[in-house]
Every structure is written in C-alpha cells, then in structure tokens.
A and B are shown apart, each in its own frame.
Chain A
Amino acid sequence: MTAPLLEAQDLLLRVNGRTLLRDLSFALRAGEVWCLLGPNGAGKSTLLHAAVGLRAAQGGVLRLGGKALAEWPADAAARQRGFLPQSFHDAFSASVLESVMLGRHPYLSRWQWEGEEEQALALSALRAMDLAGFEQRDVLTLSGGERQRVALAALFVQDAPLLLLDEPVSHLDLHHQMLVLEHLMELARLRGKGVMFTVHDLDLAARFASHALLLMPQAMVLQGPIDSVLTEAALEAAFGHRVARIEAAGRTLFVPD
C-alpha cells in the first residue's frame, strides 16, 4: 500500500503558549476529501500552516508522501502539495494569466520562461473556474470572489497530489461554491488527489467531504468518515451550540437551534 499523502503522528501544535492540538494522528490518502471543522481560533489554519511547512510543530511528526516534512527540499515539496491561503494582498498590478501561470513555478528550470504549455494549462484552469475571458484583467480590479477563483486556478495548475485549502469558498457566491467544491471532489475521484479544506458551512462539509476532522475543546480532535463525525452531540460539544441534523431532499442538513 502506498504511503498516505499526508500523515500526522502524535502532533502537538502550540501558539503563544496555548495548546491548540494535542496527540493528533491521522492519515489522508489519495482520493479522500477531508474537511477541517471547528470554532474560530481552534487551530484549523494553524494545522494547515504546519502541514504546508509554514510553522513548526511543537511535537510529533508530519509526513508528506511517507517522508517527514523537514526532509523535503522546497521545490520537490511544491510539486507534492499545494496551498491556498485564506486571504490575498496584491500590492502590484499583474494580469490574471501571469498570476495563474506562477503555479507552474516549481516545474520550470531556473532560466526557463513560461511557454505555450504553461499558458494552455492556465487557460484551462481559468475555464474550470468560470473565468474564461479574464486572462488580461488586472488582479487589482477583481472582486474578492473572482480573486479567490484566480488563486484556485493557480493552485490547480500547480497540480500537486495533495491540496490544502484554507476556506476555499469563503468569498464565493452560491453557484461558485458548488463549482469549486465539485471540482475538488472530481480531482479526488478521477485523478486521485488528496484534499483537505477548512469550511464553516456544515451542509457543504457533509455534502462534499469523505472525511472530517472536528476540532473539539481541550485540544481534542474527532476524526473519521464524515457521517461518523458530524453527529448532533459532537457538533454541540465542538461549537457550544445545539444543532439538529436532518435529512431532506436526499441531503444531510444541519439546523442550528
């Protein structure tokens, strides 16, 4: 059996002396879509940052494709996992096409320039994100949702086996939320990608994720196949708010009290 795309073993994450996650172990395999759920400040972004290598863990090990994170050279790691940050601050003008082609950076040699191949990949990713015709727009003129879809397109041309996304649908309208999550699910199902994303909408989580990691009080974590995690009792314990789980129109829905 091949190594999991992302594996945590006895992970300990602390921020400013506050323990966010303790004894966390999980394994994310190819084709799985994990949603990362929990209240504000529980450590969802922190866990993603640790998995990307943006912050060190205070204990335990994170493995990428079976190899400890620290042993990955920067460029090889960039071909193994991609990351979508929660927010963007563009200081300079750039065309949408240029921005998306930056996703090919890990594949180009030092003196190589983006060519037709990179351009074709970028255009196809833009089409998938419903951004056909946006190639020459300046990223500074885009709306928040459009900017987010440009970033997603860049992530898709990076074409890493593991995708880590911090609130990928937070700025998107209803239609584009569905578009993005369906695209992620398709990448997992058809191309064997592994996906982990944070989200606050429980209905979307239940509909699109195969697995869930629910951050609970006292740095505890509940994890497993999505249906086993998203129970009324667990959600109330995690969020401190009563939630009713109902089945309607063939979907699982969550109604807060």
Chain B
Amino acid sequence: MRRTLLIWLALAATALAAFALALASGSVHLAPLDLLRALVSPEDGIAGEIVTCLRLPRALAAFAVGGLLALAGALMQVLLRNPLADPYVLGLSGGAAAGALGAMLAGLGTLAIDAGASAGALLAMALVFAFARHDFARQQMHGALDASPRLLLTGVVMAAGWGALITLTLTLAPEARLRGMLFWLMGDLNGVDSWVPALLALLLALGLMLPAARDLNVLLRGEALAHALGVRVAPLRRRIYLVASVATALAVTTAGAVGFVGLVVPHALRLALGNDQRMLLPASALAGGTLLLLADTAARSLLAPQQLPVGVITALIGVPAFLLLLARRPKRIA
C-alpha cells in the first residue's frame, strides 16, 4: 500500500517534469521563470499565448491519449490474459483507421474524419462483441474453462479484415491525400486541440475500473478460479471490454493509431513493479501519458520546423525497449 503510493507519487512527479519540458520547448524556447510567468498570467505577451493556446492543449491531449492507450493496453492484457495484447489487438484501430481514411478519401474535413474514426472504432467494437458474445455470457463452460483464446482469435481476424480495407483505401486514394493518411495511420498530434474528451475519458475509465482492481487480480488466475472466489466473471469481462474499447476509440479519434504505448508501458511497469492491478492501472495511465508527452515533444522538436508523426517516435522507443525487456530475466519483487 505505501509502496504503491510512493510509485504513484514518483510517476506523477515525472509527469509534471515532462509537462514543464513540453511547455518550455519549441521554436520559442522559454526559461523556467518565463514559463511560470506565462502560466500564471497568460494575458501578458506572446509567451503566455504560445503556452496556453498552443502548447498546453497539445500537451494535455498527448498526456490524455497516452494515458488512455496504456490503460486500455493493461486492461486488454487482463481480459485476454496475454501479456502481449495491446489496445489494437481486437481490431479497434483498424476500424477507426478505415473510418478516418474513408472520410479522407471522400475529401471531407477534420470533423468528419474524427466522426469517421469514432464510428469505425465503435463498429469494430460492436462486431467483436457480437461475434464473441458467447464469451461474454454467463454460462460458458463448454469444455474449455477459458474463453480468452477464442476472443483473441475473433479480434485478430477482424483486424486482418480492417487491414485489407485500409490497404484498399490507400490504393484508391489520390497522391495528394496519401501523406495525410499515412500520418493518421502512424498517429500524429499535430493540430490537435480537443483534449477535454480524452482527459475526461481517462478519469472516467480509471473511476470505472479501480473499484474492481482486486477482482482483476483474481481474474488473471483464470475464469473458473475467479468464479469460485466470488467474482462475477461475465459482467466484469464485459466492463473491461467496454472501458478498454471506448478508451481506445477516444485515443485513436484524438491522435490516430499511435502504436506501442499500450503494449510497452503496462508490460514494462509489470516487469519492474509487479502485477497488482490496483497499483498498475493508475501507474499505467501516468506513465503512458508521460511517455506520449515526451515522444510528442521530441516529434515536434527533433527536426523542427519539420514535424514527425508521434507514432514514429513511440515505435523507435518502443521496439528496442520491448526487446530489452523480453531479453531480461524477470526478477521477483519482495
């Protein structure tokens, strides 16, 4: 319990430092004092305007999206009882991408692209739920004591279908629109200004899952055992699926299909700090937000004034980090 609080405090402090760095860096660099002055009285001068109108909304959006993705990843890993699951494993990003790219292909504006992404993500979510509805129902002991593998297969096949649809859209798209589509597919926070829905969703998702966090610990031991220990397995699995899906849908709608945050962050925290979901869920949200915030700061400063899609940075960080974690022997924490 005390250890958990210390972990959260350390992660929150890191998050604050990442915010300071993100707000200070850019084409106009701000010294710490200037940054403080700009935050306290934003009306004075150009610095205040840059910080409060440009950098702060983008930083908040990056943090919220990263937190949503890491939280959704942690939840999917519990739902599928598979440490390699990520928020996109059941095809949600595929659905969102198909919707967003469809809107781009039709030459529609930003609002329609966001609407297309949301609709696609929700459709993907509904399809998986419909096809796997038996796995979310009460009596499910038909030989197998565990429904996770079948749900995973359903999602993977759906994701493959969306992938084909995306490729088709890219094939049909005129040259001029390809660049925007590729940026969307990699995940990109450039020009994002709506951080409120994502941040609210993050708080709501935590609020919905934290009361059931010890149930999640039990669920990880298998569905039969969880049932025997008094966990109402089917409603809990439905809740995990819905929260993780809506979190992913909002993240993808806000910033496109940013990869690796949802896979690497919960996995790394689990290896370093243990697998108690009461600690892990808030820690994932904090660390995921911090990681994406730092990645986005790098994406807009590394080759400035050129902006990179943030998904490239998360992949560049995520792939080696993940390989390192896999190569290391897992250590036990006392």
Enumerate chain A interface residues (CB-CB to B < 8 A): 15-16, 49, 52-56, 74-79, 81-83, 85, 87-95, 98-99, 102-103, 105-106, 108, 110-111, 113, 136-138, 140, 158
Knowing A85-B224, A113-B278 are in contact, say whether A92-B83 is a contact too (CB < 8 A).
yes
Assess whether A105 is in contact with B218, with CB atoms less than 8 Å apart. Answer: yes
From B141, B211, B232, name the one whose CB has the most chain A CB atoms within 10 angstroms. B141
Query: What's the Cα separation between A105 and B232 when bound, in Å?
Result: 13
Q: What are the residues of chain A within 8 A of B191 when measuring CB–CB?
A: none
- A-B complex: 7 closest residue pairs judged by Cβ atoms: A78-B230, A83-B228, A75-B230, A55-B141, A106-B230, A54-B141, A91-B81
Q: What are the residues of chain A within 8 A of B145 when measuring CB–CB?
A: 54, 85, 87
Assess whether A113 is in contact with B1, with CB atoms less than 8 Å apart. Answer: yes
Minimum CB distance partner of A88 in chain B: B222
Query: What's the Cα separation between A75 and B214 when bound, in Å?
Result: 13
Pick from B141, B218, B227, B330: contact of A102, CB under 8 Å? B218
Pick from A54, A74, A92: contact of B224, CB under 8 Å? A54
Query: What's the Cα separation between A55 and B141 when bound, in Å?
Result: 6
Query: What's the Cα separation between A108 and B230 when bound, in Å?
Result: 11
Assess whether B276 is in contact with A82, with CB atoms less than 8 Å apart. Answer: no
Knowing A49-B141, A138-B332 are in contact, say whether A91-B82 is a contact too (CB < 8 A).
yes
- Let me know if B231 is at the binding interface, CB within 8 A: yes
Assess whether B229 is in contact with A158, with CB atoms less than 8 Å apart. Answer: yes
Total number of A-B contacts with CB less than 8 angstroms? 94
Minimum CB distance partner of B228 in chain A: A83
- Let me know if B52 is at the binding interface, CB within 8 A: no
12 contacts between A and B (CB under 8 A): A15-B143, A49-B224, A52-B224, A77-B230, A78-B228, A82-B228, A92-B220, A93-B271, A94-B275, A106-B229, A106-B230, A110-B211
Knowing A54-B141, A137-B332 are in contact, say whether A103-B229 is a contact too (CB < 8 A).
yes
A178 CB to nearest B CB, Å: 25
Query: What's the Cα separation between A55 and B82 when bound, in Å?
Result: 25
Q: What are the residues of chain B within 8 A of A105 when measuring CB–CB?
A: 214-215, 217-218, 229-231
Query: What's the Cα separation between A137 and B275 when bound, in Å?
Result: 14
- Let me know if B9 is at the binding interface, CB within 8 A: no
- Chain B, residues 70-83, CB within 8 Å of chain A (1/0): the string is 00000000000111
Query: What's the Cα separation between A78 and B82 when bound, in Å?
Result: 26
B90 CB to nearest A CB, Å: 17
Assess whether A102 is in contact with B217, with CB atoms less than 8 Å apart. Answer: yes
Query: What's the Cα separation between A74 and B218 when bound, in Å?
Result: 14
- Let me know if B306 is at the binding interface, CB within 8 A: no
Minimum CB distance partner of A102 in chain B: B218
Assess whether B334 is in contact with A136, with CB atoms less than 8 Å apart. Answer: yes
Minimum CB distance partner of B139 in chain A: A56
Query: What's the Cα separation between A82 and B228 when bound, in Å?
Result: 6
**Residues 86-133 of B at the A interface (beta carbon under 8 Å):** none
Query: What's the Cα separation between A69 and B227 when bound, in Å?
Result: 13
- Chain B, residues 209-223, CB within 8 Å of chain A (1/0): the string is 001001101101110
Q: What are the residues of chain A within 8 A of B217 when measuring CB–CB?
A: 98, 102, 105
**Contacts A95-B332, A95-B333 known; 6 new A-B pairs at CB < 8 A:** A52-B227, A85-B222, A88-B221, A99-B221, A105-B231, A106-B230
Minimum CB distance partner of A107 in chain B: B230
- Let me know if B270 is at the binding interface, CB within 8 A: yes
Minimum CB distance partner of B138 in chain A: A56
Minimum CB distance partner of A110 in chain B: B211
Knowing A85-B145, A92-B83, A102-B221 are in contact, say whether A55-B139 is a contact too (CB < 8 A).
yes
Query: What's the Cα separation between A102 and B141 when bound, in Å?
Result: 22
**Residues 196-253 of B at the A interface (beta carbon under 8 Å):** 211, 214-215, 217-218, 220-222, 224-225, 227-232
Query: What's the Cα separation between A137 and B214 when bound, in Å?
Result: 21
Q: What are the residues of chain B within 8 A of A108 when measuring CB–CB?
A: 214
Assess whether B146 is in contact with A89, with CB atoms less than 8 Å apart. Answer: yes
Assess whether A92 is in contact with B270, with CB atoms less than 8 Å apart. Answer: yes
Pick from A79, A93, A95: contact of B230, CB under 8 Å? A79
Assess whether B275 is in contact with A78, with CB atoms less than 8 Å apart. Answer: no
- Chain B, residues 290-334, CB within 8 Å of chain A (1/0): the string is 000000000000000000000000000000000000000010111
Query: What's the Cα separation between A105 and B220 when bound, in Å?
Result: 13
Q: What are the residues of chain B within 8 A of A137 when measuring CB–CB?
A: 332
Query: What's the Cα separation between A75 and B236 when bound, in Å?
Result: 14
Query: What's the Cα separation between A93 and B267 when bound, in Å?
Result: 11
Query: What's the Cα separation between A159 and B242 when bound, in Å?
Result: 34
Minimum CB distance partner of A160 in chain B: B228
Query: What's the Cα separation between A108 and B218 when bound, in Å?
Result: 13
Query: What's the Cα separation between A140 and B330 when bound, in Å?
Result: 10
Minimum CB distance partner of A87 in chain B: B145
A113 CB to nearest B CB, Å: 5
B34 CB to nearest A CB, Å: 43
